Each structure stands twice: as structure tokens, then as C-alpha cells.
Amino acid sequence: MAETLILTGFMGSGKTAVGKRLSEKLGWDFFDADPLVEQHLGMPIHEIFEIHGEPGFRKAEEAVVLGLLEETSRAETGTVVSLGGGAVTIPAVYERLIREPLVVLLDEDINTAFRRARGGKRPLADDIDKFQALYSERESLYRRLSKYIVDTRSLNVEQVADRIISLIHERTGIL
């Protein structure tokens, strides 16, 4: 059975870019949860929110993320999974993540995160005050279930990927 390294963190924290780079460095598979949810319902995220509302999006996200983690737990090669920023708010996903050993939080400055996340594709990133409030609501969830926290301020994608590898290596000897 191979390892699954799971990246979590708020919108705009760099989960997708870091996840891709990490998987290249490790020679592991990479899955980004958001596009899988889009495939699952056959439409982009902003449309899912318009048509099914946030509850409809979370329902699909729950099915996709739990299915994916079940698959990667049985895979023969390692996998990096980048979650959507709100996956941690789904109780069944949270319960699953609590039991996973390689959950890494990307901790980014909120203004930088908003600058990256805004611009139409993310329904929950259209207003800085709401964005900030949502982050405050979620912060303790991220911190509670993450086994590693990387402060990404002033680090580039390559440096964040290297930092994750060395943190996990120091603590566990793997990677």
C-alpha cells in the first residue's frame, strides 16, 4: 500500500500548483479534487453553485473526495491529492482527514490568497471581507486536522514543495 499526501488550505494558498510540482518531484500520481467534482457533475464550479447551490456542490465534493481517498489508499504508487479549500467543512471528509497521516496545510497570507483566488471562477472569492470571514471560520478546522503546516509566505512553489518533502522526511523517514 502506498502513501497519500493530502494538501489542504484556503482558496488561493497554492494547493494545485504545489501539488503538481510535488508529484513531479516524488514521481507520484496527482489528483486535484475540484476538476473531478466538475467532471462528476459535468459543469464548472460556478455553475454548480448557481444551479445546485453550495449544498449541492458539497454533496458532490464529499462523494468525489471520499471515493478518491479510498482509491489512493489501495494504489500501488504514491499519490498527491489537492483538496478544494472547503472540503474540510464536510463532516465525513473531516473525519477521514483526521485519520490520514500526511495532511499538509499551506498557510498563506490572506491578502495574497485573495489576489490569487478572485476573478470569477470561485463563487466564494468575490469580496475580501467575506473571504476573510470565511477564513476565520475555517482556520481552526485546517489546523486541527493538519499534521504538517507550511508557512508559504515569501516561498515560491518549488520552495514549498521542497519544504514539505523535508518536513515529512525529518519526522517519518519517508520521502
Give the footprint of ligand S3P on this chain (CB under 6 A): 11, 15, 34, 45, 84-86, 117, 122-124
Nearer Cβ to ligand S3P (16/73) = 16
- Considering the complex, state which of residue 76 and residue 140 has its C-beta at the smaller distance from ligand S3P: 140
Closest contact distance (angstroms) between CB of 135 and ligand S3P is 9
- Judged by beta carbon, residue 130 or residue 169, the one nearer ligand S3P is 130
- CA dist., res. 133 & res. 20, Å (int): 29
| Nearest-approach distance from CB 76 to ligand S3P, in angstroms | 27
- Residue 124 buriedness (CB in 10 A; 0-12 / 13-18 / 19+): middle
Kindly state the helix (H) or strand (E) to which residue 160 belongs, with its residue range. Answer: helix 157-172
CB of 166 to ligand S3P, least distance (A): 24
Smallest gap from Cβ 154 to ligand S3P, in A, equals 21
Please list, residue by residue across 45-82, b when 16 or more beta carbons sit within 10 angstroms of its beta carbon and e when fewer do: beebbeeeeeeebbebbbebbbebbeebeeeeebbbbb
What the block records as the C-alpha cell of 128 is 475580501
Our CB check for ligand S3P shows the closer of 17 and 167 to be 17
- The least CB distance from residue 110 to ligand S3P, in Å, is 13
Closer to ligand S3P by Cβ: residue 96 or 122: 122
The strand order across the sheet containing 79-82 reads: 29-32, 79-82, 4-8, 103-107, 148-151
